Structure 1
Amino acid sequence: MLATLLHRWRWLGAWTLANLLLAWLISLRYLPHVAPKGAEQWGYLLLVFLGHIALLVWLGALPPLLLAPLLRAPWLWLVTTLWAGLLQLVLLLDTFVYAQYRFHLSGFILDLLVNAGGDVFSFSWLAWSLAIGGVLAMLGLQGALGAWLRRRPPSRPVLPVLGIGVLALFGVHGWHAWADAHYDRDITGMTRHVPLFYPATAKRFFVERGWVDPQAVRDRVELEAAEGKAHDLAYPSAPLSCSPPATPANLLLVVLDTARHDLLDPEVMPNLSRHAERPGWYRAEAHFSGGNSTKAGVFSLFYGLPVTYWDAFTAGQTPPVLMETLEAADYRFQVLSSATLVSPAFDRNVFAGLEDVSLTPVRGEPWQRDRQITEDWLAWMEASAESPDAAPFFGFLFYDAIHGYSSPPDFPRFTPYWEQINHMALGPDFDPEPYWNRYRTAARYVDAQLGRVLDDLERRGRLDDTAVVITSDHGESFNEHGHNYWGHGSNYTPEQVQVPLVMHLPGRPGGVLEGRTHHADIAPTLLETLLGCEAAAERYTLGHNLLAAAGSRDWLLSGSYMGYGILLPEYQIAVHPTGAFEAYDYRMNELEAVLPSPEVAGEVLQALSRFYR
């Protein structure tokens, strides 16, 4: 019995090595998109093949290896033939999907292929013939290969090859982490082209141990994305013509981390609520972030694009059109953040190319850091007042105390109040009120800091020539629907993705922005209203000018740490990086057999690939 089992494992191991060679051969189809140049890039790509792609093949081989003691040899051969053929066909299909859309295959795409078919994808009879022929050829190849190896299993160094793969896997992740910390876009720009590849990053780890000085690295490298560097992006899709007025308005953009929409309440945020109701101020009725996490929310705010584009923009260090246009108009920049700009790496996309951007936040508790950036902003405004003829400014304030549930010990509290947060205590039966009150207390503290900023602008008379946009990156859940969701990053309910939006645009009447608005709308609104840019938002964003007439939206996109969600009027579809997807209503009840219409599905796929070459 043992001898028989060892014989089976031997030929299955040899079969796996043969499939490893086949997977490498198929993966060569990604090379035109990776476009490696020089020994360094080719060396990194070699480790990707030896480590990551080999890992995928070995993981795929686990089911047959585990079934070897349970199935008779003919059945094991049949199961392995079908299984190996299916996996290789999926890899081959992914190369075709990536060539057309520049994103990898997922369960959502597979379901559309099966159920929506020609309503979304167009296939000729020749394409169908080639596909059927390819399936039959792959199954024939796998069956013949398995039969031959079963009869005459060769002696091959399976364990040494496996060992080389493990070493290569550690090597490629370590290499990427080091390259990421040193802004080596020649390496980091390659990873997005490889399926199911989520390489390690450890910039914060390196910085904490003094192995990397992020400011020194940033000062040393050329952060301006040279023309042609982001060779896989077509962003913007065409040049944008802008004619700024002779005296452009200043712009202050404030992001309140983790502030969900219903914090905009006079009891919780009296200063922001007061301004939101004043003439000349706009308040959104139902505004949605492009993410349920900071990474996705801030990215969507500046670019007006889903976070699925993050890797391409970060690797090429391609700043958003909004920031490039402000730079071209000679704006002065003051970027103050209570949280790090290194992780997530906003220094490499949103603020790429800006000088004097501090990558290390001030120290202290979140409430102390928020107070400090407020003080720094007020001091900067005071210094700017001494130069009345200075160029217009762009200010960015990122407050973090709500995210940290942080407020001074003597600050007035909502009660009952959770004195010591213990996330292990959270559960379906946990009373959320003390936790909710701690969250609201932090929001009221941040509102007090925000009030100082707004009152200072008003006292100086700068609201007449300063646009102000106040919003959040994402919201927060407190188990509202009884499914044990706490915090953020886990779903696309209004609690996690609907956020406040309050705007002041000089010379505009203000009012309520009705209907569903989105972070993607903010950049075109500012570009067209403040900077005299042409109304061509489709060249650089998925949004539109909030002050221009627009039809109702059938769908919105919102991202997470890695996956993304499609927000339809009645339900959400969560698409995970593993390829799995589920549909839920907005109370997080799972819905069976629900998909968007073929028209919506086609529009979503086009949006996810529009700005790739």
Structure 2
Amino acid sequence: MLYRLLHRWRWLGAWTLANLLLAWMISLRYVGYIQPEGAEQWSYLLLVFLGHLSLLVWLGALPMFLLATLLRGIGLWLMTTLWASGLQLLLLLDTFVYAQYRFHLSGFILDLLLNAGGDVFSFSWVAWALAVGGVLGMLAVQGGLGLLFKRRPPSRPVAAMLVVSFLALLGVHGWHAWADAHYDRDITGMTRHVPVFYPATAKRFFVEKGWVDPQAVRDRVDLEATEGEAQGLVYPSAPLSCSPPVSSDNLLLVLLDTLRHDMLTPEVMPNLYRYANQPGWFRAREHISGGNSTKAGVFSLFYGLPVTYWDAFTASQTPTVLMERFEAADYRFQVLSSATLVSPAFDRNVFAGLKDVSLETAKGEPWVRDQQITDDWLAWMDKEEERSDERPFFGFLFYDAVHGYSHPPDFPRFTPYWEHINHMSLGPDFDPEPYWNRYRTAARYVDQQLGRVLDDLERRGQLEDTAIVITSDHGESFNEHGKNYWGHGSNYTPEQVQVPLVMHLPGRSGGALERRTHHADIAPTLLEELLDCESAPQHYTLGQSLLNVEPHRDWMLSGSYMGYGILMPDYQVAVHPTGAFEVYDYRMNELDDTKLQPRVSNEVLRALSRFYR
């Protein structure tokens, strides 16, 4: 019995060793983004492969070693084939996600895939076909490896590799701890590119031992954000005082998912462009979203806070001051979204406590859903008009077709046009024009729906009595700078965070907003203009009224799925969840010698913790 168990373990050991080599081959896709230079970085990367990546494979194989005490023969072979295939495919999927978005698979992304499905991610039949082919190919490879090692599994190479992996693991963590204590960003900057890698740090220990200059430690500003736990909140930090509004103006807030700033042209968005250039309408020259993702962008729009607060507000289900004050003013609410409000969980923060919010989106492709929410909005307006309800309304429309590159089949297209999107084709040498034209076509379709809404308000004679804010959650990249950035969620360039802002405020003359504005400025503007709330936005937001003509702020915050960016006038600081950070210009060229001023660093740290107890 023991002999047979040892034989199965030797077989699994050989199979694990083969999978270790396979995992290394797949992980070579990360090296292009790490871009190691010099013997030091290459040596550290070798230890990462030998130590950390090997550890992941050994840990992945551990359940099969335990299962071998219960199963044997064809049953063990089948289970190991399926298990090993699943783990390797997960690693392969992570390399594709990282190539496009520059972040690794996480619980949040898997939650979107499993719970939100097509409401968030859209895949063409080509991508599905390649995915199915990859699954079948991996199953064939794993099954073949199992049969290959079944008869005479080697044992010595396996034992030797275990020893090498253990020593390399100790080496890589020790090296990183020393590099972290000495602020060696050449080493610490490599870690974020490796999946599930949380290397050791021992800065305090080294300082206590006198191995690191303590003055250098104190002078260094730690840019790590406050951990996103459900901590106690002080929000708002002081009660707001709002006078009963003199007039009962409506509010319509429209969010166009994934619409970047340069789409606001007469060619692409003629309806929005027409209204934006009429008297009484404001148009921002340079408006920055609070995120390069939907989660961060929407959160910052309603709260006026960075997405680092997301977990705390969501866990406590603390609603926004904006929504609470409009509820207290007895506004009627109509929330219509083409995208899901459940994942990301806007139902548990932005719309927490708000009654009669439908969490079920319409069925069909994004353009169908966008058309449906427009129809639903117009029908609601008809019904409310018949009721002669004198209370003002708060309307929220969230369009999704631009995010899905979606429009009716017979809708006029910009050409040349990419008929079947396959994200695996994207690369540094891919011609972006057909992809770009499909994006612009979707934007023109959404503009058509938006035109129906605005023209309807004008026809009813309600346009002058309605405050309107039209903007986006984030933009979209098309490899503008030759760095192979596509989509969003990967950096804080204008392509991903600069969005249009068109606004109408009753009684205001309109015009261009010349200063650099931010999503955090929208909530205080609406509260002050519509509800006559005191001008003390520091109690609930990082922003200020859009009508405030104070000098330009010199930094802004914009978040991502994980981490955040500090946006300076001439460069961006990308801060990762581990606390590591990188500095780039707005063409994604790394600026190794650029550092934040201590004043800015301190202001950022205060902003990230201002509303925690």
User: Under TM normalisation by the shorter chain, which class is it?
Assistant: 0.5 to 0.7
In structure 2, relative to structure 1, the CA distance for the partners of 1:371 and 1:573 (3 Å cut) is same
In structure 2, C-alpha distance between the alignment counterparts of 1:82 and 1:450, rounded to whole Å? 54
Question: Quick one: which amino acid aligns to residue 289 of structure 1?
Answer: S
In structure 2, relative to structure 1, the CA distance for the partners of 1:375 and 1:92 (3 Å cut) is farther
In structure 2, relative to structure 1, the CA distance for the partners of 1:91 and 1:383 (3 Å cut) is farther
Question: Quick one: which amino acid aligns to residue 333 of structure 1?
Answer: F
1:235 aligned to 2:258? no
In structure 1, C-alpha distance between the alignment counterparts of 2:251 and 2:277, rounded to whole Å? 20
Question: Quick one: which amino acid aligns to residue 488 of structure 1?
Answer: H
1:524 aligned to 2:519? no
Task: Kindly report which structure 2 residues correspond to 1:269-308, keeping only aligned pairs within 5 A, or say none.
Answer: 269-308=269-308
Question: Quick one: which amino acid aligns to residue 117 of structure 1?
Answer: R
1:117 aligned to 2:218? yes
Question: What SS does the aligned partner of 1:590 have?
Answer: coil
Which residue pairs with 1:571 in the alignment? 571
Which residue pairs with 2:54 in the alignment? none
Task: Kindly report which structure 2 residues correspond to 1:219-234, keeping only aligned pairs within 5 A, or say none.
Answer: 232-234=232-234
Task: Kindly report which structure 2 residues correspond to 1:316-327, keeping only aligned pairs within 5 A, or say none.
Answer: 316-327=316-327
The Cα offsets for residues 572-599 of structure 1, whole Å up to 9 and x where unpaired, read as: 0101112221100000011103221011
Which residue pairs with 1:39 in the alignment? none
In structure 2, C-alpha distance between the alignment counterparts of 1:80 and 1:433, rounded to whole Å? 45
1:262 aligned to 2:262? yes
Task: Kindly report which structure 2 residues correspond to 1:451-530, keeping only aligned pairs within 5 A, or say none.
Answer: 451-530=451-530
Which residue pairs with 1:394 in the alignment? 394
TM-score by length of structure 2 reads: 0.66
Q: CA deviation at 1:117?
A: 3.3
Question: What SS does the aligned partner of 1:457 have?
Answer: helix
Which residue pairs with 2:384 in the alignment? 384
In structure 1, C-alpha distance between the alignment counterparts of 2:320 and 2:525, rounded to whole Å? 14
Equivalences, count: 427
Task: Kindly report which structure 2 residues correspond to 1:275-424, keeping only aligned pairs within 5 A, or say none.
Answer: 275-424=275-424
Which residue pairs with 1:541 in the alignment? 541
Question: What SS does the aligned partner of 1:340 have?
Answer: coil
Contact in 2 for aligned 1:252/1:396 (Cα 8 Å): yes
Q: CA deviation at 1:551?
A: 1.7
The Cα offsets for residues 473-519 of structure 1, whole Å up to 9 and x where unpaired, read as: 00000000000000000000000000000000001000000021000
Contact in 2 for aligned 1:120/1:601 (Cα 8 Å): yes
Which residue pairs with 1:212 in the alignment? none
In structure 2, relative to structure 1, the CA distance for the partners of 1:311 and 1:514 (3 Å cut) is same
What is the Cα-based RMSD across aligned positions, in Å?
A: 3.0
Contact in 1 for aligned 2:337/2:361 (Cα 8 Å): yes
The Cα offsets for residues 324-362 of structure 1, whole Å up to 9 and x where unpaired, read as: 000000111100000100000000000000111111100
In structure 2, relative to structure 1, the CA distance for the partners of 1:469 and 1:482 (3 Å cut) is same
Which residue pairs with 2:44 in the alignment? none
Which residue pairs with 2:550 in the alignment? 550
Contact in 2 for aligned 1:241/1:533 (Cα 8 Å): yes
The Cα offsets for residues 165-193 of structure 1, whole Å up to 9 and x where unpaired, read as: xxxxxxxxxxxxxxxxxxxxxxxxx9944
In structure 2, relative to structure 1, the CA distance for the partners of 1:112 and 1:459 (3 Å cut) is farther
In structure 2, C-alpha distance between the alignment counterparts of 1:561 and 1:257, rounded to whole Å? 16
Q: CA deviation at 1:70?
A: 8.2
Q: CA deviation at 1:413?
A: 0.5
Q: CA deviation at 1:81?
A: 14
In structure 2, relative to structure 1, the CA distance for the partners of 1:250 and 1:113 (3 Å cut) is farther
Which residue pairs with 1:97 in the alignment? none
Question: What SS does the aligned partner of 2:255 have?
Answer: strand
Question: Quick one: which amino acid aligns to residue 402 of structure 1?
Answer: V
Task: Kindly report which structure 2 residues correspond to 1:173-192, keeping only aligned pairs within 5 A, or say none.
Answer: 192=228
Moved over 2 A (4+): 63-71, 78-83, 85-93, 111-121, 190-193, 387-390
In structure 2, relative to structure 1, the CA distance for the partners of 1:65 and 1:244 (3 Å cut) is farther
The Cα offsets for residues 274-333 of structure 1, whole Å up to 9 and x where unpaired, read as: 000000000000000000000000000000000000000000000110000000001111
Question: Quick one: which amino acid aligns to residue 218 of structure 2?
Answer: G
Which residue pairs with 1:594 in the alignment? 594
In structure 2, C-alpha distance between the alignment counterparts of 1:445 and 1:89, rounded to whole Å? 55
Task: Kindly report which structure 2 residues correspond to 1:76-225, keeping only aligned pairs within 5 A, or say none.
Answer: 87=200, 89=202, 117=218, 192-193=228-229
Question: Quick one: which amino acid aligns to residue 327 of structure 1?
Answer: E
Question: Quick one: which amino acid aligns to residue 351 of structure 1?
Answer: F
In structure 2, relative to structure 1, the CA distance for the partners of 1:549 and 1:119 (3 Å cut) is farther
Question: What SS does the aligned partner of 2:387 have?
Answer: coil
In structure 2, C-alpha distance between the alignment counterparts of 1:545 and 1:553, rounded to whole Å? 13
In structure 1, C-alpha distance between the alignment counterparts of 2:166 and 2:457, rounded to whole Å? 73
In structure 1, C-alpha distance between the alignment counterparts of 2:216 and 2:204, rounded to whole Å? 20
In structure 2, relative to structure 1, the CA distance for the partners of 1:570 and 1:551 (3 Å cut) is same
Question: Quick one: which amino acid aligns to residue 564 of structure 1?
Answer: Y
In structure 1, C-alpha distance between the alignment counterparts of 2:438 and 2:227, rounded to whole Å? 41
Contact in 1 for aligned 2:228/2:310 (Cα 8 Å): no
Question: What SS does the aligned partner of 1:309 have?
Answer: helix
In structure 2, C-alpha distance between the alignment counterparts of 1:118 and 1:322, rounded to whole Å? 39
Question: What SS does the aligned partner of 2:538 have?
Answer: helix
In structure 1, C-alpha distance between the alignment counterparts of 2:162 and 2:290, rounded to whole Å? 42
Contact in 1 for aligned 2:228/2:308 (Cα 8 Å): no
Which residue pairs with 1:51 in the alignment? none
In structure 2, C-alpha distance between the alignment counterparts of 1:348 and 1:112, rounded to whole Å? 46
In structure 2, C-alpha distance between the alignment counterparts of 1:69 and 1:520, rounded to whole Å? 49
In structure 2, C-alpha distance between the alignment counterparts of 1:231 and 1:261, rounded to whole Å? 35
In structure 2, C-alpha distance between the alignment counterparts of 1:80 and 1:486, rounded to whole Å? 34
Percentage identity across paired residues of the two chains? 72
In structure 2, relative to structure 1, the CA distance for the partners of 1:485 and 1:383 (3 Å cut) is same
In structure 2, relative to structure 1, the CA distance for the partners of 1:424 and 1:88 (3 Å cut) is closer
Contact in 1 for aligned 2:432/2:479 (Cα 8 Å): yes
Question: What SS does the aligned partner of 1:428 have?
Answer: coil
In structure 2, relative to structure 1, the CA distance for the partners of 1:414 and 1:348 (3 Å cut) is same
In structure 2, relative to structure 1, the CA distance for the partners of 1:90 and 1:251 (3 Å cut) is farther
Which residue pairs with 1:166 in the alignment? none
Contact in 1 for aligned 2:289/2:474 (Cα 8 Å): yes
